[in-house]
Amino acid sequence: MEKIHPADRAANDYLQQQRDVYQKGKHADVLVAVLFLVLIFGLLLLHVILPDKEYSKRENKSLASFPEFSLSALLKEDGEKGAQKSLIADYLEDQFPLRDQFMMLDGARQFVLTFGQSNGVLSLKDGTLLPLDHTCKEEEPATYKVLLSTIKAYEQSACFTGKYETVFALAGRKSAFVSDLPADYPKSIIKHNRTLAKSLLKDSGCTPLDLTTVFEQYAAEQLYYKSDHHWTSLGAYYASAEILKQYGKELAALDSFTKEIATEDFSGTAYNASGLYFLGGEKIEYFRYEGDEEYTVSLCNALGKVQKQRKGFYDLSALEEEHWGTAYDSFVSGVDTPIVRITKEGEERPTLLVIKDSFAHSALPFLAQEFDLITVDVRHKNFSLPNLLEEGEIDGILVLMSEETLLS
């Protein structure tokens, strides 16, 4: 008699068990097969029928379009940049029917299995979404090196008068100010990154302004958005007041500003990443003051050419559903604008160059009360700007960015 291999026996036993279940009642097995077929054919059909989208508001992400066919792309290996199969995989992933709903389902799965964590974002009891911190491995991160050389380039250029000392204001991480941080949250990462950031701040050669220390006295107030990593207008106000103090100037009292609700449906970057789209939005407030609509805001390209100009700090089009980005972009400009100039007509005022990340955007309306401003984003690495400015145009340099950007 031929000896039966154990794997054969296992396969036969398994099949027999399934056959027994099937023979007890076919309905469940037929149901599985039918539902499976309905899903794979149905979703394929939906994909064909539904029009492609260019942008996902929920994820704040541009979506891949159908790739053009080319033989060279086809012959590239899987995973290689520009390979036809990778482009098609990206396209299918981005244009998958009911993508938002599937993202939400996956977010919910992760949330349940990790006690509130999803796609690197931790959901806290009060609805705060906290992007998880990661230990910065570098002792001198790349952004810091770029920053130092940028500061040097400006300080040595003819456009800099040297009237004010260069101030480096560093915004802390949201995790440092979350009131109900879970007991198991790895605080050593916060500590490590903070120690590193403080030492970089100290070694930068600028006048250091550690805004984390400043914020400690206001920790009970909502300094950061729940769904976003940025500070609120209140946080920006406190930060701006401290920055202006460094220049010997005083910001108007908090109650002199009129709080205007820009939107009550703001969903920030932590929300975009989390997939927890069943959570509600929150409000963004503008701290308005008399005459704030008389400032001229010029949005420039990397060559300093004005692309767009408007009166007032707030870009209300960023609050609309069609806007590609979050409602935080309504503060002055989105992250894609390399250079912004803010001036007040009819007044001769000192000019401050702000080397910044997006944290500065909501602080600019406050800083503009005392200075004309030119902002450059450190992530655009715009070294040619000194050549574009006139001799003696800059009186001071302010670096205003977050710890996340500095340590990236």
Partner 1 sequence: MVFSSLEFLFLFLPITLIVYFAIPRKYIAFRNLALLAVSLLFYGWGEPVYVFLMVFSILLSYFYGFMVGKYKETKPKKAKLFLILAVISNIGLLGFFKYTDFFIGILDSIPGVDIAPLGITLPIGISFYTFQILSYVIDVYRGDTAAEKNPLTVGTYVTLFPQLIAGPIVRYKDVDDQLKEREHSVFLFSSGVKTFVAGLCKKVLLANVAAAAFEELKALPETDLTVLGAWMGILFYSFQIYFDFSGYSDMAIGLGKMFGFRFLENFDYPYISRSITEFWRRWHISLSTWFREYLYFPLGGSRVDKKWKVFRNLLIVWFLTGFWHGANWNYILWGLLFFVFLVLEKTFLLKLLDKIPAFFGHAYTLIVVMFSWLLFHFEDLGAGMRWALKMFGVGAQVINDTTLFALLRSLPMIAILCLACTPLPKKLYYRLCAKGALYRVIFAVCGIFLFLLAVAALVSSGFNPFIYSIF
Among 62, 70, 135, 179, binds partner 1 (CB under 8 A): 135
Identify which of residues 39 and 254 has a Cβ nearer to partner 1 in the complex: 39
Q: Are strands 351-356 and 396-402 parallel, antiparallel or unpaired?
A: parallel
Q: Are strands 339-344 and 295-300 parallel, antiparallel or unpaired?
A: antiparallel
- Shortest spacing between CB 374 and partner 1, in angstroms: 38
Among 41, 55, 66, 383, binds partner 1 (CB under 8 A): 41
Place of tokens 């979506």: 63
Distance in angstroms (rounded) separating the CA atoms of residues 238 and 160: 28
Site string for partner 1, 47-86 (x = CB under 8 A): x--------------------------xx-xx------x-
**Binding of partner 1 at residue 142 (CB under 8 A)?**
no
**Binding of partner 1 at residue 3 (CB under 8 A)?**
no
- Shortest spacing between CB 27 and partner 1, in angstroms: 7
- CA dihedral (150, 155, 156, 160) positive or negative: positive
Question: Which residue, 63, 179, 166, 225, is CA-closest to 398?
Answer: 166
Identify which of residues 28 and 219 has a Cβ nearer to partner 1 in the complex: 28
153-192 residues in contact with partner 1 (CB under 8 A) are 184-189
Q: Measured between alpha carbons, how far is residue 344 from residues 14, 270, 292, 293 in Å?
A: 79, 35, 9, 10
- Shortest spacing between CB 40 and partner 1, in angstroms: 5
Place of tokens 């066919």: 69
The count of other CB atoms within 10 Å of the CB of residue 117 is: 15
**Binding of partner 1 at residue 139 (CB under 8 A)?**
no
**Binding of partner 1 at residue 31 (CB under 8 A)?**
yes
Distance in angstroms (rounded) separating the CA atoms of residues 149 and 155: 10
Site string for partner 1, 374-403 (x = CB under 8 A): ------------------------------
Question: Which residue, 150, 228, 168, 212, is CA-closest to 386?
Answer: 150
Q: Report yes or no: 190 and 175 within 8 Å, Cβ to Cβ.
A: yes
Distance in angstroms (rounded) separating the CA atoms of residues 228 and 352: 27
**Binding of partner 1 at residue 24 (CB under 8 A)?**
yes
Applying CB under 8 A, the residues found at the interface with partner 1 are 5-8, 10-11, 14-15, 17-22, 24-33, 35-37, 39-41, 43-44, 47, 74-75, 77-78, 85, 88-89, 92-93, 96, 99, 102-103, 105-107, 109, 112-115, 117, 119, 135, 137, 184-189, 275
